[in-house]
C-alpha cells in the first residue's frame, strides 16, 4: 500500500480502525483517506487562549480559568449544581444538571479549574452549562493550551469528535508523504476574480482548514469566505459541473423515439383557431424544440420565458408533434390549480382537433382514477395533464414520447428522472421539455442547468400594456379600495393577495379570510371570492374558473395564485404586505395582470418603516416589469442562491461548496468543464472521483 494515492487507501489502514469503525465512517461517506481529508470541519473552537472572566459576553465560547468560590444546589424547576468561579477580573457560574455525589464533593471552594464552554444568560448572571472542565493542580505546571484552532466535524452515532480528530490527524500525516494531485487547471485561476486563490494549493487548503492557525479569520471561515475554502469550493463546483455534463452526455447516448413527422395539418388547424399569431420568440423556441424532437436521443431542454410570454402554447405545439407521430405526451404542473388550468387550456385547443386529453391528480380515487389509468395504458389518452401524481408507479403509458414539466423550479432533478422509466416497452426514453418563468441570469443558468439545453422566449405577445406599479403605505388603503371599486364598476377584475405574515399556512389563510370579509364589507356591491392553500383543490379550481368566467370581480387570495394562473380580464393586482415578499415572487404575482389589452395596475401596499432591502425591492418593481431586469436586481440585493429555487438544495449534493454563497465562482465553469471532458478526460475523471467518490449518483442515470 506504500505507493497507493490517498484516494485508494482505505480508512482501515489507519491505526485503530476496524470494520465497525469503518462502517460508521462509511455512513459519513468516508471510505478512503481522501474522503476523510475532504470531511471538513463545520466550525472551529478556539482553545488557544484563556479568556478573562470579566471579558465574557453572552454567547462567548471560551477557555476560562478560575478558583471555585462556592458551590451549592440550585433551586428552580430542575435540580442543578451551581458552582461559582472567580478570577482577578470577575466571576461566572458553572451549572450542572447531571452530577454525581463525588463531583459535588470534589468541587469545593479553593479548587482551581480550567473549563471550556459557552457563556449563557443564567439565573445567576453569565453561566456555563455543563462545561468541559479539568482540575488544575498546584504541584504541576498547567496543561498546555492548543496551538491551533480545534476543528468540530460532522459526526455520526458511535463516532466521537475526539476520535474523528485523531483519524483526520493521521490522514494529514499521510498527506505530508503523499500530497494530492493538483487538478485545477491553471488557466482557471488566472481569471481576475479568482486570483486571490492562486496562492493556495489543494494540499495547503486542506491542511489549513483542518487546523487553522490561531490568528485565522474566524468570521471568514464561519461565513465560508476564506480563500482556502473558496479554493476547494471552486474545485468541487467544477467537479459538479463535470458530473452534470456527463449526465447530459449519458442521456444523449440513450435512445428516444425520433419524432420525424411534422405535426402538419393538426398544427395548421390549431394555429388557425387562435385569435393571434405566435411571437417570433415562440416560433424560434418551437423550432429549437422540434429540431431536438426529430433526434433519436432524448431532448433535455429548458424553456425560460417571463410570465405571460406564452410558454403553454409552445408546449401544446410540442405535444402535438409527439401525438402526430403516434405517441403520447404528458404535461406536469407543480400544483393542482395550475394543472387544472393547463387541462382547461389544452382541452380547448386540442379537443377540437380530435385529440384525447385527460387529467390525473393525486386526489382522484376509485372508478374515475381506474378509468383514467386504463385509457392511458391502452393509448387512448394521448395527452395526460396532472401533478406529481404522474410520477406514481401505477401510471403506465403505452407510448410516451414527450414529458413537459411546467414551472421547473418546483421539481427536482430526481423527480424528472423518475419519469424516464415511463417511456414504454421499446426501451426508449421520453424527450423532456422543462418550462420555467424564473428568469435566471445567463451565466448562472448555464451552470445551474448544465445538464439541460436552454431556450429563451425573450419577447412578450404584442399589445401587452406595461403594468403600472405603485407602492403605497398602509395608511392609504382607503384610496386603494376606492380605486378598486371604480375599476370593478367599469367591468374589470382584480386580485387582492395576502402573503404570509406569520410562518404558518393556517395563519396566512386566516388573514386572507379576514381581509376577504373586510373587503366584502367595504365593497358590498362587488362579488368577492376567496382562494387559499388549505382549500380542496376542486373548490379552488371551481372558484378560479368562476373568476375566469367573470362571476366574481374581486378574488382575495394567498400566494397560491403566484404561479401561472391566467385570467386575461383581470387587470388589477393588489399585494398586501408587499415588503415581505421577495422580488421573484412579486414579479410572478404582478405577472397575473397585464395579460389582456386594457392598461393594468399593480399596487404594492407596505407597512412602514421599510428596511433598506424592502425599499430596494419595491423600487425595482416600480422601475421595470422585465423579468430579467428584476432577476438581475434580485441577484444584487439578495445574492444568487434564491433565484435557483429548490435546485440549490438536496438534489445537488455538495460537500463544501454552496451554490448560493459561491455563485460568483461559477462563472466560466461550464465551458471549462466542456473543454476538460473533451481534451483532458482523465483529469475530468480524477476531479469527479475526488469529489463525487463512489457516491457518483448520476452514474446510474
How many helices and strands, by DSSP H and E, does the chain display? Answer: 23, 21
564 binds Mg ion (CB under 5 A): yes
Q: Which is nearer to Mg ion, 243 or 564 (CB)?
A: 564
Question: Residue written as cell 371551481?
Answer: 542
Q: Which does 307 bind (CB under 5 to 8 A by kind): ligand ADP, Mg ion, none?
A: ligand ADP
Q: Strand ranges (DSSP E) for 520-624?
A: 528-531, 554-557, 570-575, 601-606
276 binds ligand ADP (CB under 6 A): yes
499 binds Mg ion (CB under 5 A): no
> Site mask, Mg ion, residues 356-385, x = CB under 5 A?
------------------------------
Q: Which of 41, 117, 131, 308 binds ligand ADP (CB under 6 A)?
A: 308
439 binds Mg ion (CB under 5 A): no
> Edge-to-edge, what's the strand order for the sheet holding 554-557?
468-473, 601-606, 570-575, 493-497, 554-557, 528-531
Q: Which is nearer to ligand ADP, 230 or 311 (CB)?
A: 311
Q: Which of 562, 566, 576, 579 binds ligand ADP (CB under 6 A)?
A: 566
CA pseudo-torsion sign 474, 479, 482, 483: negative
Q: Give the range of 123-131, 284-292, 376-384, 562-570 binding Mg ion by CB under 5 A.
A: 562-570
**326's torsion region: left (phi>0), alpha (psi -120 to 50) or beta?**
left
Q: Strand ranges (DSSP E) for 500-610?
A: 528-531, 554-557, 570-575, 601-606
Q: Which is nearer to ligand ADP, 310 or 541 (CB)?
A: 310
* Cβ atoms of residues 227 and 204 within 8 Å: no
* Cβ atoms of residues 118 and 45 within 8 Å: no
627 binds Mg ion (CB under 5 A): no
409 binds ligand ADP (CB under 6 A): no
Q: Which is nearer to ligand ADP, 436 or 603 (CB)?
A: 436
* Cβ atoms of residues 289 and 299 within 8 Å: yes
278 binds ligand ADP (CB under 6 A): yes
Q: Give the range of 41-49, 515-523, 564-572, 638-646 binding Mg ion by CB under 5 A.
A: 564-572
Q: Which is nearer to ligand ADP, 117 or 591 (CB)?
A: 591
Secondary structure string (H, E, C) spanning 624-671: CCCHHHHHHHHHHHHCCHHHHHHHHCCCCCCCCCCCCCCHHHCCCHHH
Q: Which does 526 bind (CB under 5 to 8 A by kind): Mg ion, ligand ADP, none?
A: none
Q: Give the range of 151-159, 306-314, 426-434, 664-672 binding ligand ADP by CB under 6 A.
A: 306-314
* Cβ atoms of residues 573 and 592 within 8 Å: yes
Q: Which is nearer to ligand ADP, 107 or 383 (CB)?
A: 383
* Cβ atoms of residues 602 and 467 within 8 Å: yes
Q: Give the three cell numbers for residue 139.
A: 504541584
311 binds ligand ADP (CB under 6 A): yes
Q: Give the range of 42-50, 151-159, 557-565, 635-643 binding Mg ion by CB under 5 A.
A: 557-565
Residue 174 neighbours by CB distance under 10 Å: 17
Q: Which does 461 bind (CB under 5 to 8 A by kind): ligand ADP, Mg ion, none?
A: ligand ADP
Q: Which does 282 bind (CB under 5 to 8 A by kind): ligand ADP, Mg ion, none?
A: ligand ADP
Angle, helices 681-692 vs 669-679, to 10°: value is: 120
Q: Which is nearer to ligand ADP, 149 or 302 (CB)?
A: 302
Count of residues that interact with ligand ADP, criterion CB under 6 A? 18
595 binds ligand ADP (CB under 6 A): yes
Q: Residue with CB nearest ligand ADP?
A: 310
* Cβ atoms of residues 571 and 598 within 8 Å: yes
Q: In the 8-state DSSP scheme, what is residue 180? A: P
Backbone angles phi, psi at 377, to 5 degrees: -65, -30
Q: Which does 595 bind (CB under 5 to 8 A by kind): ligand ADP, Mg ion, none?
A: ligand ADP
Q: Which of 117, 131, 310, 499 binds ligand ADP (CB under 6 A)?
A: 310
Residues binding Mg ion (CB under 5 A): 564
Residues that bind ligand ADP (CB under 6 A): 276, 278-279, 282, 305, 307-313, 437, 461, 564, 566, 568, 595
Amino acid at each position: 500500500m506504500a505507493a497507493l494515492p490517498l484516494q485508494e487507501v482505505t480508512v482501515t489502514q489507519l491505526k485503530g480502525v476496524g470494520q465497525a469503525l469503518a462502517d460508521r465512517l462509511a455512513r459519513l461517506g468516508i471510505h478512503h483517506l481522501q474522503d476523510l481529508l475532504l470531511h471538513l470541519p463545520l466550525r472551529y473552537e478556539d482553545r488557544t487562549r484563556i479568556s478573562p472572566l470579566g471579558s465574557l459576553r453572552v454567547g462567548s465560547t471560551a477557555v476560562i480559568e478560575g478558583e471555585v468560590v462556592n458551590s451549592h444546589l440550585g433551586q428552580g424547576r430542575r435540580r442543578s449544581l451551581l458552582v461559582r468561579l472567580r478570577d482577578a477580573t470577575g466571576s461566572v457560574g458553572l451549572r450542572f444538571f447531571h452530577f454525581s455525589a463525588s463531583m459535588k464533593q470534589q468541587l469545593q471552594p479553593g479548587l482551581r479549574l480550567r473549563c471550556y464552554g459557552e457563556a449563557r444568560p443564567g439565573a445567576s448572571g453569565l453561566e456555563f452549562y455543563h462545561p468541559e472542565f479539568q482540575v488544575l493542580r498546584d504541584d504541576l505546571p498547567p496543561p498546555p493550551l492548543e496551538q491551533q484552532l480545534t476543528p468540530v466535524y460532522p459526526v455520526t452515532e458511535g463516532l466521537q469528535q475526539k476520535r474523528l480528530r485523531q483519524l483526520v490527524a493521521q490522514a494529514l500525516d499521510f498527506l505530508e508523504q503523499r500530497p494530492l494531485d493538483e487538478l485545477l487547471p491553471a488557466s482557471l485561476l488566472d481569471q481576475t476574480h479568482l486570483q486571490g486563490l492562486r496562492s493556495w494549493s489543494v494540499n495547503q487548503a486542506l491542511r489549513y482548514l483542518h487546523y487553522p492557525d490561531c490568528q485565522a479569520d474566524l468570521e471568514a471561515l464561519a461565513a465560508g469566505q476564506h480563500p482556502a475554502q473558496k479554493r476547494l469550493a471552486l474545485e468541487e463546483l467544477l467537479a459538479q459541473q463535470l458530473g452534470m455534463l456527463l449526465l447530459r452526455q449519458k442521456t444523449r447516448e440513450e435512445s428516444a423515439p425520433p419524432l420525424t413527422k411534422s405535426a402538419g395539418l393538426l398544427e395548421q388547424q390549431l394555429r388557425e383557431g387562435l385569435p393571434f399569431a405566435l411571437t417570433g420568440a415562440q416560433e424560434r423556441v418551437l423550432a429549437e424544440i422540434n429540431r431536438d424532437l426529430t433526434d433519436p436521443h432524448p431532448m433535455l431542454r429548458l424553456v425560460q420565458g417571463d410570465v405571460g410570454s406564452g410558454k403553454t402554447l409552445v408546449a401544446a405545439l410540442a405535444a402535438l408533434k409527439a401525438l402526430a407521430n403516434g405517441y403520447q405526451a404528458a404535461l406536469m404542473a407543480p400544483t393542482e390549480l395550475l394543472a387544472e388550468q393547463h387541462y382547461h387550456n389544452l382541452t380547448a385547443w386540442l379537443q377540437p382537433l380530435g385529440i384525447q386529453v385527460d387529467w390525473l391528480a393525486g386526489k382522484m380515487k376509485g372508478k374515475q382514477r381506474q378509468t383514467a389509468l386504463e385509457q392511458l395504458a391502452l393509448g387512448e389518452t394521448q395527452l395526460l395533464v396532472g401533478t406529481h401524481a404522474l410520477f406514481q408507479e401505477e401510471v403506465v403509458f403505452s407510448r410516451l414520447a414527450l414529458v413537459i414539466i411546467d414551472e421547473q423550479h418546483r421539481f427536482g432533478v430526481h423527480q424528472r428522472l423518475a419519469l424516464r422509466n415511463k417511456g414504454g416497452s421499446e426501451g426508449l426514453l421520453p424527450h423532456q421539455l422543462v418550462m420555467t418563468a424564473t428568469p435566471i441570469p445567463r451565466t448562472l443558468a448555464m451552470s445551474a442547468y448544465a445538464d439541460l439545453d436552454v431556450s429563451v422566449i425573450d419577447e412578450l405577445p404584442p399589445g401587452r400594456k406595461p403594468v403600472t406599479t405603485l407602492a403605497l403605505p398602509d395608511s392609504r388603503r382607503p384610496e386603494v379600495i376606492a380605486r378598486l371599486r371604480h375599476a370593478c364598476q367599469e367591468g374589470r377584475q382584480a386580485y387582492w393577495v395576502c402573503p404570509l405574515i406569520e410562518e404558518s399556512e393556517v395563519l396566512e389563510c386566516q388573514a386572507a379570510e379576514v381581509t376577504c370579509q373586510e373587503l366584502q364589507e367595504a365593497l358590498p356591491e362587488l362579488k368577492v371570492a376567496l382562494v387559499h392553500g388549505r382549500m380542496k383543490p376542486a373548490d379552488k379550481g371551481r372558484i378560479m374558473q368562476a373568476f375566469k368566467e367573470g362571476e366574481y370581480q374581486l378574488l382575495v387570495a394567498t400566494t397560491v395564485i403566484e404561479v401561472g394562473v391566467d385570467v386575461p380580464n383581470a387587470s388589477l393586482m393588489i399585494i398586501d404586505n408587499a415588503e415581505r415578499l421577495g422580488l421573484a415572487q412579486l414579479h410572478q404575482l404582478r405577472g397575473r395582470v397585464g395579460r389582456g389589452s386594457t392598461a393594468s395596475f399593480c399596487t404594492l401596499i407596505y407597512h412602514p418603516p421599510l428596511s433598506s432591502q424592502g425599499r430596494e425591492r419595491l423600487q425595482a418593481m416600480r422601475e421595470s416589469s422585465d423579468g430579467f431586469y428584476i432577476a438581475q436586481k434580485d441577484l444584487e440585493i439578495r445574492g444568487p442562491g434564491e433565484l435557483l429555487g429548490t435546485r440549490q438544495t438536496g438534489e445537488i449534493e455538495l460537500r463544501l461548496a454552496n451554490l448560493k454563497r459561491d455563485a460568483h465562482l461559477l462563472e466560466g465553469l461550464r465551458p471549462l468543464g466542456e473543454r476538460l471532458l473533451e481534451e483532458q478526460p482523465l483529469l475530468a475523471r480524477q476531479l469527479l472521483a475526488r469529489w463525487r467518490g463512489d457516491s457518483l449518483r448520476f452514474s446510474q442515470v
